[in-house]
Amino acid sequence: MSKIPFPDGHRLSGGVTRWDPSELAEWEKSQGLDLPPLKGMPSVRQVAERYGVSVPTVWRWAASGRQENQGDDAA
């Protein structure tokens, strides 16, 4: 399986952003990660903790994934 871009979070009411666990699981699989399944939609802090990175890193990954997806749309 080829690597896929990091998924973007889904903005909910009140400026809250959550990640779809199935999208994260698909990304994890493409990266060769074998982590326990998520329960519910994690926050940016929970995503950062899951991967052992900082919150700004998760936002950078999401922005990079958006750019990659936009590039795919243009092709």
Confidence of residue 13 (pLDDT cuts 50, 70, 90): confident
Helix (H) or strand (E) holding 38: none
The amino acid present at 10, given as its one-letter code, is H
- Ranges of each domain in the chain: 10-74
Q: What's the CA angle centered on 11, arms 8 and 12, to 5 degrees? A: 145
Confidence of residue 65 (pLDDT cuts 50, 70, 90): very high
For the whole model, what pTM was predicted?
0.87
- How confident is the model at residue 29, as a pLDDT? 96
- Helical ranges in 11-75 per DSSP H: 21-31, 44-51, 55-74
- How confident is the model at residue 1, as a pLDDT? 57
Q: What is the pLDDT of residues 21-54, one digit of tens each?
A: 999 999 999 999 999 999 999 999 999 999 999 9
The residue ranking higher by pLDDT, 15 or 60, is 60
